[in-house]
């Protein structure tokens, strides 16, 4: 019989001399990337207690709101109440809402301001309850005594640390046996558990909440950290809220600019990162549709936005699977820190074995320091279709 290169019999499993053909690679498909933690980076310090605090301060406010008026003619009467009269002094120039009219405060009685209308040659315009009052500041009279000293009080903010932990246990036989794709089963299990815990840390940094009662934890309930979303209150909007523009719930450039402008108005924060899930990332990519052009030699279809630049700065667009699908987060990454409790960054702690196995615990304790929540924002309720 001539040689054909083919087997003339079926070896099957009966021939023990045939070696198994198993690739020496272990592949993992489960998601464990942490883009938000990568952007924030390692904290410059560490927490020294299970409740980590930081200080925030603000400048004296130069805006207020008209609380009530006695106007018969809102273009000529000259007295109205404000919510915070302590923010004004006699001699201050003020402007109301979007009007171009200037007024000069000539007296303050309790919450009532009496002003000169149409100051500086401007024309009196209508004002109403609820309008914003902008204080331009006053001019000192030559030789006058100094004004009364004013100051703001620094505020303590804080967040609790949260313990992240997982157990590792490998039998003596498993440790002794040869493994495919790895040298040591214990080391491999440590790496797997650390990947999972770092993944969970990122998810908690974004979505975590804090117990309303006993947030410090008890013998039966753990303490948990408050994440980015739960910290944001000043610039938290839903597409159903009146100020949010647009005729639909779809994310568009108008809504992006509304959020960036609102954060800019409420703080000196510099939003540099927009964090989205896959659904809203596709919406942002579609902003290119109207301006996309291709030539006859183009072989690549490109539809991705990694940076969004507006009048309010340049923002990188980060894709994170842990952001709710109906939300977009706007953050100033310079005001975010994820820090461990001193000596409690992720590490492996060997435990006493009670039998024919080796056991241990991967453990870490972290918190989120999120300074000046007014410098961040979130838009919720967006369409996910």
Provide the pLDDT for residue 290: 65
Residue extent(s) of CATH 3.90.1690 domains in the chain: 35-56+157-289+302-380
Residues paired with residue 169 on neighbouring β-strands, in sequence order: 359
CATH number attached to the domain at 63-138: 2.40.30
Give residue-wise pLDDT tens across range 27-53. Answer: 777 778 899 999 998 888 899 999 999
Give the DSSP letter of residue 146. Answer: P
Give residue-wise pLDDT tens across range 158-206. Answer: 999 999 999 999 999 999 998 888 889 999 999 999 999 999 999 999 9
The backbone torsions φ and ψ at residue 85, rounded to the nearest 5 degrees and listed phi first, read -65, -20
Residue extent(s) of CATH 2.40.30 domains in the chain: 63-138
Compute the distance between CA of residue 369 and CA of residue 47 in angstroms, rounded to an integer. 10
Compute the distance between CA of residue 104 and CA of residue 112 in angstroms, rounded to an integer. 14
Across residues 98-119, what is the average pLDDT?
93
The domain defined by 35-56+157-289+302-380 folds into phage-related protein like fold (3.90.1690)
Provide the pLDDT for residue 323: 96
Provide the pLDDT for residue 150: 85
What is each CA distance from 201 to 33, 58, 280, in whole angstroms? 11, 31, 23
Give residue-wise pLDDT tens across range 285-299. Answer: 888 766 665 666 665
Provide the pLDDT for residue 299: 57
What is each CA distance from 57 to 45, 152, 155, 235, in whole angstroms? 20, 7, 6, 18
Give residue-wise pLDDT tens across range 132-145. Answer: 999 998 888 889 89
- Check: CB of residue 142 under 8 Å from CB of residue 333: no
Provide the pLDDT for residue 13: 54
Residues paired with residue 337 on neighbouring β-strands, in sequence order: 369
Closest CA to 113 of 127, 98, 100: 127
SS3 of 235-290: the string is: CEEECCCCCCCCCCCCCCHHHHHHHHHHHHHHCCCCCCEEEECHHHHHHHHHHHHH
| Burial group, residue 373, by CB count within 10 angstroms (0-12, 13-18, 19+) | buried
Mean pLDDT (the chain) is 88
Closest CA to 230 of 316, 333, 329: 329
Provide the pLDDT for residue 232: 97
How many Cα atoms sit within 13 Å of 273 on the Cβ side? 19
- Check: CB of residue 7 under 8 Å from CB of residue 303: no
pTM of the shown model? 0.84
Per-residue pLDDT at 261 exceeds 70? yes
What is each CA distance from 348 to 166, 182, 187, in whole angstroms? 10, 19, 10
């Amino acid at each position: 019989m001539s040689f054909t290169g083919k087997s003339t019999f079926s070896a099957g499993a009966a021939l023990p001399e045939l070696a198994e053909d198993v690739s020496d690679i272990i592949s993992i498909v489960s998601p464990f990337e942490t883009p938000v933690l990568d952007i924030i980076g390692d904290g410059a310090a560490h927490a020294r207690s299970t409740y980590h605090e930081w200080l925030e301060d603000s400048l004296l406010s130069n805006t207020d709101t008209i609380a009530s008026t006695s106007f018969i003619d809102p273009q000529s009467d000259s007295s109205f109440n404000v919510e915070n009269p302590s923010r004004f002094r006699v001699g201050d120039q003020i402007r109301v809402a979007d009007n171009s009219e200037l007024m000069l405060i000539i007296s303050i009685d309790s919450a009532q301001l009496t002003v000169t209308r149409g100051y500086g040659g401007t024309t009196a315009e209508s004002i109403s309850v609820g309008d914003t009052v902008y204080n331009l500041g006053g001019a000192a009279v030559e030789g006058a005594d100094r004004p009364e000293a004013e100051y703001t009080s620094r505020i303590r903010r804080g967040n609790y640390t949260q313990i992240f932990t997982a157990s590792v246990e490998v039998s003596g036989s498993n440790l002794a046996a040869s493994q495919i794709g790895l040298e040591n089963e214990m080391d491999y299990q440590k790496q797997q558990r650390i990947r999972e815990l770092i993944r969970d840390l990122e998810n908690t940094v974004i979505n975590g909440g804090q117990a309303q009662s006993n947030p410090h934890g008890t013998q039966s309930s753990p303490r948990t950290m408050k994440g980015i979303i739960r910290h944001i209150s000043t610039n938290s909007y839903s597409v159903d809220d009146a100020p949010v523009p647009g005729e639909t719930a779809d994310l568009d450039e108008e809504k992006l600019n509304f959020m960036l402008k609102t954060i800019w108005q409420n703080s000196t924060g510099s939003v540099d990162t927009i964090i989205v899930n896959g659904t809203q990332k596709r919406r942002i990519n579609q902003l290119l549709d109207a301006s996309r052009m291709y030539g006859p030699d183009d072989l690549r279809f490109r539809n991705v936005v990694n940076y969004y630049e507006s009048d309010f700065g340049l923002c990188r667009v980060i894709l994170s699977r842990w952001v709710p699908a109906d939300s977009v987060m706007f953050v100033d990454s310079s005001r975010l820190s994820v820090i461990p409790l001193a000596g409690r960054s992720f590490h492996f702690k060997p435990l006493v074995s009670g039998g024919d196995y080796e056991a241990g615990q991967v453990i870490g304790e972290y918190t989120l320091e999120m300074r000046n929540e007014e410098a961040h924002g979130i838009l919720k309720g967006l369409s996910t279709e």
